[in-house]
Structure 1
């Protein structure tokens, strides 16, 4: 896509002012890194606080009294039981059990507030509209920006700008007023650190970003460090680690399927792909592959699409994400491998430029999470 055809977020001019290197991403011109570089940005988030522009992501409202029940037909999670201003991770499934997208949603009382991935938002909106648009209003919010402030000192920085956010705990949200702008802030993120995601009307996005960057703890962070941070946290990247060919069980996302949707009762099943997903969960259908974490036993980065072999040379899977992890200080990866090779401690080989690199299956996340649960 030519640079002229790329969309811009409300912070585009600020990124250029800050010296960002811009790249095409999900149809937008986005900052991949700033002058300090990916390594410094990554470590700064782990030590202090970093500001991410994630305004390319899709924000939707599902409105109407039937919205929660309707949404439950699309996702294998508990929507009806979600408390006011509580947030939950969800999976938008297809009839074959494949994952169309992963998302976050909040019960805001008068509506469900849904955030979907930027590269998927057009398809997601059409999918949701086609399937439940007759039961609730599906309202995109393209005029809003989305900022993420992440790191152990994020709460200190944000509380000076928006007093009261320190009362939030992990996966809860609240509405705030900032200089006349109606913000909605959740205590959540994509780094494994404590942090916040802030939905802000577009005209206020740049001034809010500048106010946050004026705090001594905060530096701007690009897509490169966002990727390395989420991989260390063991979090999936849609299109790499999950997609329409993977089921939640293959992806190891069983924890995201609440009990009320899995076993017994009137609300068990009833979502797209339920027959296949529930059969895999209870052992009635075979699971041929599993998502695993890998650590290289040599200091050789192992990238996505790298083939994996057993120690006796059998083809057993493929890497979906991989890099030299700044905090872990060793090469790490996510991959899908045949189920019999998925146990922690299993040794296997990644084939890098024709040579085997020994790796070991490990339990994820690669770095311990530091979410603020109160």
Structure 2
């Protein structure tokens, strides 16, 4: 089944439908700002899955003709801010719409960004106090390093954290506010041999936890250090589920793509480990896949559903995670090679998933409509409300 041209489509996937009927997704909690995008209701034709439940996936192309959209975050009005890695543009997508999808406008182009390789304008996060402070946070590359900066209502970009290792590849880029109000930063090791991921003095190959001023947050494993976890190859996605369990994608390892549950002070093994291992001092991934079938960028969570969006794998994986952190059943596949390389994946304020393609880059094979942002809505209490 192909979805290359249509603005909206509905599909039923037997594998996806194997998610348990007891799953109850529903809308996010009241702490997640925003409202549903202004979209027409997708048509839904119910069909039966193997477990007897009627579930479908409504797929809507929200925006087209973007250039390597990397990060997505949401403003209080329900619109999204989207970064383009290579153009260094911040776009606003929605909430207004027309016959072609959501309206896309350029908010700002950041002259401080120096794109090359997989570096450029990467992650973006919206201040939890955006209604009053109008502040965005971005992860970006310069000629010398990767940085986190803040941007107030179209003003000048102000760096708050510098010195993250910069290289042609494995620059990390994940950026998100956690349930605790602190800013989490996923970095890449930035070296061919992985010499920085286990070095506590380096910001490379880490997940960092900082304040909005860029300082180490109180309660970090080591006082006055921003490091929250270490031993990462290339962290490009961060998300939390309803239990405040934290997830991160691991991309760029030669053998295995990983989805990790992140805990305070844990070591995830790079470069000693590539995928699951037997060293008790290292933390194994929740799930690992062959690199060619994964190399995932974004991760999103809603209720018991955790999903990843994969670049080399050109697919999404969906996992049903129980309250105690166990994966129920096998991860299911969605959009397998339907839209090419998939990068950003986030949970929208209305409970739908938004995913971006990443085909307008050297490794991609772009469709005339690429790059795109796609909205996914699951029926019967699944992600989103159609």
After TM superposition, the score normalised by the length of structure 2 is 0.24
Structure holding more strand per residue:
2
Structure holding more helix per residue:
1
After TM superposition, the score normalised by the length of structure 1 is 0.24
Which of the pair has more CA radius of gyration? 1
